[in-house]
Amino acid sequence: MTAPVAETTATRTLGGKYLTFVLANEEYAFEILTVHEIIGIMAVTPVPHSHPVIRGVVNLRGKVIPIVDLRRRFGMTPPPEGETPETCIIVLNVRNLLVGIAVDAVSEVRMINEAEIEPPPAFGSDVDTSCLLGVANSESKVRMLLDAEKVLALDVIASL
């Protein structure tokens, strides 16, 4: 990604409100300011010849928006149980583009203090930590704070 993003990551304070959600029994979170809305899972129209992480497009009140499959984005396998009533789409607004992210379940909006946040640990080459803003450790739970822009890597996806 571009340099300015790295800069803001380095200088901005990470404490604030986050929307937490579940993906393959792991807890993740997006900064609340990047979240546009949450919608239930709906019929997704697959788009041939699009990038593999794009599951397809949906109709968001007349707008056509793409849905990114976060499991595929992180190289995880599809959920064994398939879609459940809990499955939903988090619509993110990144650089004025609306993009939906399919997740297993949304948990809550919670305040995460600066003090609870630690830099992403080094997992070695197996785990890509470039999308992580940091790791929040509170109430004996660990939540991965995601950088929405990097998760979507919009320019990368669009150019493929």
Q: What string of DSSP letters covers 63-86?
A: EEEEEEEHHHHTTPPPPTT---TT
Verify binding: residue 75, another protein, rule CB under 8 A. no
33 binds another protein (CB under 8 A): no
CA atoms within 13 A on the CB side of 75: 4
Among 14, 23, 35, 65, contact with another protein (rule: CB under 8 A): 65
Q: CB of residue 95 vs another protein: minimum separation in angstroms?
A: 9
Residue 147 has phi, psi (to 5 degrees) of -90, 105
Stretch of 1-9, 14-22, 41-49, 129-137 lying at the interface with another protein (CB under 8 A): 41-49
Does residue 50 touch another protein according to CB under 8 A?
A: yes
Q: Where are the alpha helices (DSSP H) in the chain?
A: 3-11, 70-73, 148-152, 154-159
Residue ranges in contact with another protein by CB under 8 A: 42-43, 45-51, 54, 56-59, 61-66, 68, 97-99, 152, 154, 157-160
